[in-house]
Copies of this chain bind each other. A is one copy, B any other.
Amino acid sequence: MPAAGSAFTQLHQHLHHTRLLGSISSTLYYDQNTVMPAAGAAWRGEQLALLARQLHERQSSDVYAELVAAAEAELGADAPPEQHRNLQLLRLELDRQRCLDPALVGALAQAQSRGNAIWQDARSRNDFAAFAPALKELIALRQLQASQLSAAESVPRSPWEILAQPFEPDVSKARLDELFAPLKAELPPLLEQVAAGGAPSSPTAPPAVAVERADLPEALQEQLCAELLDSWGYDNSRCQRSRSAHPFSCTVGPHDFRITTRVVPGQPLSSFLATAHEWGHSLYEQGLPRTDDHYFPWPLGEATSMGVHESQSLFWECRVARSRAFAERWYPRFCQGTGAGAATDPWGGPLGFWRALNPLKPGLIRVEADELSYCLHIVLRFELELALLEQDMPVEDLPGQWNQRMLALLGVEPATDSEGCLQDIHWAEGLFGYFPSYALGHLISAQLSETFEQKNGPIQDLISAGEESSLQAWLAGSVWPLGRSVNGEELVERVSGRALSTRPFLTYLRNKVEALSGNP
C-alpha cells in the first residue's frame, strides 16, 4: 500500500506494474541461460526487446513523468524521509530514461541477446573473431547510450562513469583509482611471497596439481551443493537451483529466487564455492525490505549497488566457505563423499583441504580466482573497458592486450581466448562499468566483517560452532534492510563508522596468507 495521497497511490500501482514487466524479463533471462535451446535465441531476443521497449516506455513516458511530478508536488516537508528518498531516486532515473532514444533501447536489448548467443558459441569454439563484430556493435551502442545519458548527469562524468552509474551509484574513475592503487601495489608482492614458498605451495603442503586432479563426481558435487544450501536455510518453496554456463543469481518475483551453478571438470570445489557465492547474492535479495509502505515496489526496496551485492556473495564464499573453520567442518563430509579414509584422502588432511579451497595461485579464470589475485583480474578488465570505450582501442586488439596484461599483472598467459577475453558473459551483453563492483565487493565484505568481529568476536569461532545463522542474522539486521536508503560507500560508513578503505581487506589477506603457510 502506498504511503499517502492519490498521486502516491497511482505511482505505487505504476511501479508495481513496472516490476511485473521487469520480472517477466528476468524469467526469460533465467530460462535462456538454463534450458533454452540455441535456436530459440533470435526469438528470445525479440521477446526481450519488446519487454525492454515496454519498460523504457513505462519509465520514461509523459504519463509516468506526470505521476512523479504529482507525487513530488504532494510531498510535504514533513513527509517521512523515505518518501523523499524514493522520489529523489525515481526522479534521477526518470531523467536518465527520458534522455534515451526508444529505438536505442530496443536495439540494445536485441544486441545483448544476440551477443549472448554468439558469445556462447564463440567461447565453446575459441573463436574470438566470430564474437568481435557483436562486441563492436555493443560498444558502439553503449557509447551512444552514454552520450544520450550525459544530458541527465548533474556532475560531469566520462562515458564509462555514466555507464557504471546503474551498477555503482556515484562511482568515479578517480575514486576507483584511489581504491585500486593499494591493491595494484600490494597484491603482486603478496602473490610473489606465496609463490616463493611462504604459503600453500611450500614443501609442507601437498602439491597443487594433486589437489586439482582429485576430481569429484558430478552427482556428488550436486549433492554437496544441496547440503550446503540446506545447512544455510535454503527453502525450496521460495528458491530454485539450476545449472548454467555461467553461475548467476536471479530474482524472478518477490518470493521467487533462483541461483545457478556449474560443474567445472578438474575444479572439484568450484561448484561448492560458486553455490556459496550465488547464495550470498540471493540472501541479500531475499532480505531486502518488502513489507512497509516505502519499500517494494519502491526504490528503497531494491539493492543499493552491485558492490554491496558482491560483498554479500563474497562474504559467504570467502569469509565463510573458504575459511579454515569451515574447511575443518566440511572435510569429513568431502572425505566420505570420495570414499577415502582420513589417511588416503586426496587433500592429505583438513589443512590440505583448506588449502585446496584457497589455492592462492594466479590463474586464468576470474570466477575461479582466489582472494589474492581476484582484484587484479578486475583491474585488468577496468583498464581494458576504459581503453575500449574511451581510448579508441580496436576490438581486434583485445585478445593481445588481454594476454599481455594478464602476464604483467598476474604472471600467467591464456593459451586460448576461451580462457582469456571470452571467459566472461558481461561484455557479451554489453555490460561495461560492472566489473569494478566485484573488487569493491571484496573491500566492503572485509570492512563489514571487521566491524562484525569488533562487536561479536571472531567469525571463525561461530563457524566452528556451526552458527552461521548468527552471521546471517547480523546481515539481516544491519545491512539488508538498508535497501537503497544509502549508496554503497554510505552503507559501509553507516555500518562500520568509517569510510571505505582497502586496509581491512589487505590486513585480512596478509593474515590469511600467514595462516595458510603455517604448519598444521
Question: Which residues of A are in contact with B by a Cβ distance under 8 Å?
Answer: 17, 20-21, 23-24, 27-28, 30-31, 34-40, 42-44, 46-47, 50-51, 236-240, 242, 252-258
Contact flag A256-B24 (CB < 8 Å), given A17-B50, A31-B30, A50-B17: no
**For the complex, what is the distance from the CA of A20 to the CA of B47, rounded to whole Å?**
6
> B35 near A253 (CB under 8 angstroms)?
no
The answer to whether A37 touches B238, judged by C-beta atoms less than 8 angstroms apart, is yes
Nearest chain B CB to A24's CB is how many angstroms away?
5
Q: Is A37 a contact partner of B239 (Cβ separation < 8 A)?
A: yes
Can you report 18 A-B residue pairs in the complex whose CB atoms are below 8 A from each other?
A20-B43, A20-B47, A21-B50, A24-B24, A24-B51, A27-B27, A31-B31, A31-B252, A35-B258, A36-B252, A37-B237, A37-B256, A37-B257, A38-B238, A39-B255, A40-B252, A40-B253, A40-B256
Secondary structure call for the A interface? helix
Q: What are the 4 A-B residue pairs with the smallest beta carbon separation, nearest first?
A: A40-B256, A43-B253, A39-B255, A39-B238
Q: Chain B: which residue is nearest A256 at the CB level?
A: B40
Q: How far does the alpha carbon of A21 sit from the alpha carbon of B43 in the complex, in Å? A: 11
Contacts of A20 in B (CB 8 A): 43, 46-47, 50
Q: Which residues of B contact A31 (CB under 8 A)?
A: 27, 30-31, 252
Nearest CB on B from A385, distance (A):
32
- In the complex, how many angstroms separate the beta carbon of A279 from the nearest chain B beta carbon? 15
On whether the beta carbons of A37 and B236 are closer than 8 Å, the reply is yes
Q: Write out the residue numbers on chain B whose beta carbons fall within 8 Å of the beta carbon of A35.
A: 34, 240, 242, 258
Given A37-B238, A38-B237, CB of A256 within 8 Å of CB of B27: no
Q: How far is the CA of A107 from the CA of B256 in the complex (A)?
A: 22
Which residues of the partner chain B approach A257 to less than 8 Å between Cβ atoms?
A: 37
Indicate if the CB atoms of B37 and A240 lie closer than 8 Å: yes
Name the B residues within 8 Å of A252 (CB-CB): 31, 36, 40, 43
Asked if B36 and A256 sit within 8 Å, CB to CB, the answer is yes
Enumerate chain B residues within 8 angstroms of A240, measured Cβ to Cβ. Answer: 35-37
Knowing A50-B17, A50-B20 are in contact, say whether A40-B255 is a contact too (CB < 8 A): yes
Given contacts A24-B50, A35-B258, 4 further A-B contacts (CB under 8 A): A20-B43, A24-B51, A35-B242, A43-B255
CA distance A321 to B50 in the complex (A): 41
In the assembled complex, the CB of A14 is this many whole angstroms from the nearest CB of chain B, namely: 13
Q: Within the assembled complex, what's the spacing in Å between the Cα atoms of A444 and B239?
A: 43
**A252 CA / B39 CA spacing, docked (Å):** 11
Shortest Cβ distance from residue A497 to the other chain B in the assembled complex, whole angstroms? 37
Residues of B within 8 A of A50 (CB): 17, 20-21, 24
Q: Pick the residue among B47, B236, B253 that contacts A23 (CB under 8 A).
A: B47
Q: What are the residues of chain B within 8 A of A255 when measuring CB–CB?
A: 37, 39-40, 42-43
Task: Please measure, in the bound complex, the distance between the C-alpha atom of A238 and the C-alpha atom of B42, giving whole angstroms.
Answer: 12
Residue of B42, B242, B253, B258 near A44 (CB, 8 A) is: B253
Instruction: Identify the closest chain B residue to A42 (Cβ).
Output: B255
Q: Is the CB of B43 within 8 A of A254?
A: yes
Contacts of A36 in B (CB 8 A): 240, 252, 256
Contacts of A43 in B (CB 8 A): 20, 23, 252-256
Closest-CB distance, A26 to chain B (whole angstroms) = 10
Contact of A39 among B39, B51, B242, B256 (CB under 8 A): B256
Closest Cβ neighbor of A54 among chain B residues: B54
Question: How many Å lie between the Cα of A21 and that of B53 in the bound state?
Answer: 13
Task: Give A49's nearest chain B residue, CB to CB.
Answer: B20
Separation in Å of the A461 CB from the closest CB of chain B? 34
Measured between beta carbons, the chain B residues less than 8 angstroms from A40 are: 238, 252-253, 255-256
A256 contacts which chain B residues (CB < 8 A)?
A: 36-37, 39-40, 43-44
Q: Which residues of B contact A27 (CB under 8 A)?
A: 27-28, 31, 47
Distance in Å from the Cβ of A271 to the closest Cβ of chain B?
18
Return A54 CB to nearest CB of chain B, in Å. 9
